[in-house]
Amino acid sequence: DAKTTQPPSMDCAEGRAANLPCNHSTISGNEYVYWYRQIHSQGPQYIIHGLKNNETNEMASLIITEDRKSSTLILPHATLRDTAVYYCIVRVHGSSNTGKLIFGQGTTLQVKP
Amino acid sequence: DTAVSQTPKYLVTQMGNDKSIKCEQNLGHDTMYWYKQDSKKFLKIMFSYNNKELIINETVPNRFSPKSPDKAHLNLHINSLELGDSAVYFCASSSLAGGQGHEQFFGPGTRLTVL
């Protein structure tokens, strides 16, 4: 699985959009981009995933660049409850898929009032 | 209803003891996982079972032995506990049917402290 690089920490004002970047320059054609987050003392929580098109769900939007070498997770209106560590993970789908998630250091997002 | 549950939530024990952590999922998933999160917050996969068959076995000491009695349960037994085993252990589950398995659901974690 390709490696990802994220900034170690970011701040965001409550009510503003939080834009979390991720670099995955060695991503291969059959690897998807996943985002999970871990709120303090809880288990990780799935947010969103995508291959090459932009994706949106009730939690967030995922913007993937055309060359797929980087992506941005957007929380449109951050709240204090969005304070967490956000992990960007790339993972293969298909017959070789074991579901294995390789977590990096992630980005600690601090939402401030 | 809790999707992925773990027992116990906290476990404090002495070095050299043997202990087990239990995990159950009621999501009908075919795959379950154990992850370890150490004091530096690094989260690493340890084991995975798909339909009761071991499919992931990372470089983990053989003092750790997972057991999957059925698809809904994955237990972790640890022999001869060491100080370095102190960590939070997370169980997770997903469905790999059809080669997908988009979303893993994680349990609340078991905080193991070895004294």
Q: What pLDDT score was predicted for residue B55?
A: 86
pLDDT on residue A96: 61
Residue whose C-alpha is closest to residue B2's, from B17, B18, B23: B23
pLDDT at position B98 is: 60
Distance from the A76 Cα atom to the nearest Cα atom in chain B, whole angstroms: 22
Rounded to an integer, what distance in angstroms lies between the CA atom of residue B32 and that of residue B113? 23
Confidence check: pLDDT of B21 > 70? yes
Angle at B8 between CA B88 and CA B22, to 5 degrees: 90
Other C-beta atoms closer than 10 Å to the C-beta of B78 total 21
Q: Which of A49, A87, A98 lies nearest to residue B56, judging by beta carbons?
A: A98
**A34 contacts in B (CB within 8 Å)?**
102
Would you say A73 and A10 are in contact if contact means Cβ atoms under 8 Å apart? no
- Which residues in chain A come in under a pLDDT of 70? 1-2, 94-97
pLDDT for A99: 77
Q: Which amino acid is at B27?
A: L
Is a pLDDT exceeding 60 seen at residue B41? yes
| A79-104 pLDDT tens trace | 999 999 999 999 877 656 677 888 99
Q: With 0-12 CB in 10 A as exposed, 13-18 as middle and 19+ as buried, what is A77?
A: exposed
Q: Determine whether B35 is exposed, middle or buried from the number of CB atoms within 10 Å of its CB (0-12, 13-18, 19+).
A: buried
Dist CA B32 CA B51 (whole Å): 9
What CA dihedral angle connects B110, A40, B36 and A95, to 10 degrees? Answer: 110
Amino acid occupying residue A94: G
* Assigned token pair, B46: 């340890």
Sign of CA dihedral A10, B89, B91, B42: positive
Looking at residue A91, its amino acid is R
Look at residue B99 and give its three-state secondary structure.
Answer: helix
Residues A11 and B93: their CA atoms lie apart, in Å, by 31
CA nearest A39 in B: which residue?
A: B108
Pairing assessment for the beta strands B43-50 and B53-57 based on DSSP bridges: antiparallel
Residues of chain A contacting B45 with CB distance shorter than 8 Å? 100-102
Chain A residue at shortest CA distance from B111: A41
> Would you mind telling me the total number of residues written for chain A in this entry?
113
DSSP code for B84: G
Q: Is B43 in contact with A99 (Cβ distance < 8 A)?
A: no
Bridge partners, residue B20, by sequence: B77
Q: How many residues does chain B have?
A: 115
